[in-house]
Amino acid sequence: MRAPRSVLRGPQYAGWVPAVPPARAFAVRIVANVSIPLSDGTLLGADLYLPDTGERLPALLGWSPYNKDLFPTGAPAPFNEPGDVTFLASCGYPLVIVNTRGTGRSTGELPKAMFDSSEVDDMRQVFTWIAGQPWCDGRVAMTGMSYFGISQLFAAGHGMPGLAAVAPFGSATDIYRMVAYQNGTLHSGFLSPYIAVNGSVQRIRLPVALRHALGYLVGTAPVQAVTRKALWGNLHRLIRHLSPSEPWLRRWAAYCLEHPLDGPFYREASAWSRLSDIEVPVLLGTEWSMVGLHLPGTFEAWHGIRGPKKMFIGPRWDQWPFLRYQKEIVSYYDHVIKGIDNGYDRLPPVRYWLHGAERWESAEDWPPPGAARWSFFLDAGQGGNSRLSTEPPAGGRSLSWASLPVGLSYPGAFDRYGPYPQVLRYESDPASRDIHIAGPAEITLQLSCTAIDTHVQVRLSDLAPDGTVSVVSVGWLLASHRTIDEKRSTPTEIIHDHAHPVPLEPGKPHSLRFSLFPFAQLLRKGHRLVLEIGSDPARLAPGTKDRFVYFGNAGTPYPALNTIHHSGGDHSLLRLTVRPPAGDARAP
């Protein structure tokens, strides 16, 4: 049967145009519901998208636990992430979409943890199977974002047979601190819908013809918009009524109940420890929108991979299916696998989108060489005007906020005239010139708390003279996880010890130092920076207006009063990274 409709949406190239663009040289046929046998008798369900030719070609593998029957339907859901399967195959790459064991049409039982040792063994056997097929020339690459992207780093780190190159988009390198417990706080806004939705749709079986028909219907822009609004607007109500299978609920319990701290359960399933083992060429891709879940993993991979690599970070985007950068990925594979001289080797190592200027920039490394630190002291100021100041504060006034657990019942009047706000706000002076901010960001807080633990969340925004506010980054930390893991930390991210929490001593100031997610923003002349600090993950969400992908976390564990101390021996500081104008090595 002929393959489904091909629709590319969103940006396709990261700031360049290849000398030899991808050629859609082949008609594509689908061979659906193929069973790939494993050594223990398990059969993995797969769909093959094959170029209509007798030529042996390098193949692509898409690996995930997401029901493959739903991919060609155009469903705007965050499991629809292998890329445009018809486009990829038409460019001369036979494509194999595989369901992991116990998912979709695959037999066997879903393991408790994603990417455990059994999944790695299964993947190795599938690589061998693909390389031996008559339509494959023995070389295999991979496709897709999120789970599809994480699997690529796993395959490369474990040296899968026949693997020629990978292009993980929106991946993650640490299942604990990116997927399950972001900086110590349960990633409940992601894990619950992830398990409920994916565990429920596994039972769906769609004939190939119906999948294709739905692709033409659901894949249209108007239907996409309506479906997206209905799905995301009702997601948290929907998950209460879904019925995921029991193995998926075991997986939820493993993450949320059985393993609240980092340890072997997560480390075995995380790619970070094998990044230095990767030898094949790697193209790392992500977007500034992917805070928490996917953005930090791309940068950790950049720092950990020693082999040939390039990286691009695109503008914020918040829509599915994953149909972006398909031409970028094919151009990359055309060069590194097929040897086509399309100019890819002459691209800079790093390309990134600069929000505020709305243009692509490049760098020889990340953080950009020659960048400078731009530091602000948190200053309580006078008359309630808290400031981000380039000079240490003169006074010793402290500021406090009410840290209230999500779902806590409290008098509504507290928000209007209670003694403590739930969010503190600091504002900088207007920028005296355009300032190119690009790189890591971090905050150090001298904080005391009336409880033994608290969740601290910050949000950084660009405030225009007309009052328009654009969020540029967020960050958070569970205070008991404040001990820094110096060995694992990278030039982009402060990584903490999440295996040995240390309770706070109530009332005593403690130093909390943690990263905001890296960003790139041109702060225009006359614009200000606004820093907000609190504990409520909803009040300090980055917001949909700025197209962030943010699922929310569980927030603070105890009701408490949190206080920031602004002077004394240590200061509370915000540190950013700026690229000075050519010939000027100074920070603003």
pLDDT digits (tens, 9 = 90+) for 252-286: 999 999 999 999 999 999 999 999 999 999 999 99
Could you give the CA distance from residue 438 to residue 352 in angstroms, rounded to a whole number?
A: 9
* Shared fold status for 28-176+205-218+264-347 and 372-578: no
| Helix-helix angle 117-131:147-157, to 10 degrees | 80
Domain 28-176+205-218+264-347 has CATH 3.40.50.1820: yes
- Backbone φ and ψ for 485, nearest 5 degrees, come out as -90, 95
Q: What is the CATH number of domain 372-578?
A: 2.60.120.260
Indicate the domain borders of the chain. 28-176+205-218+264-347, 372-578
pLDDT tens for 225-259 read 787 777 777 777 888 889 999 999 999 999 999 99
Q: Where are the beta strands (DSSP E) in 299-364?
A: 309-314, 350-354, 359-363
What are the counts of helices (DSSP H) followed by strands (DSSP E) for the chain?
A: 12, 22
Given the DSSP bridges, would you call strands 185-186 and 282-287 parallel, antiparallel or unpaired? unpaired
pLDDT < 50 regions, the chain: none
Report the percent of the chain where pLDDT is more than 90: 85
Task: Transcribe 2-29 into DSSP letters.
Answer: BPPP----S--SSS---SS-------EE
Q: What does the pLDDT read at residue 48?
A: 97
Contact present, 141 and 81 (Cβ < 8 Å)? no
Q: What does the pLDDT read at residue 585?
A: 53
For tokens 């355009």, what's the residue? 434
Query: Per the confidence metrics, is the pTM higher than 0.85?
Result: yes
Alpha helices, DSSP H, located in 344-463 = 414-417
Q: What does the pLDDT read at residue 586?
A: 58
Could you give the CA distance from residue 376 to residue 372 in angstroms, rounded to a whole number?
A: 13
Question: Structure tokens of 467?
Answer: 């009052």
Angle at 291 between CA 290 and CA 295, to 5 degrees: 65
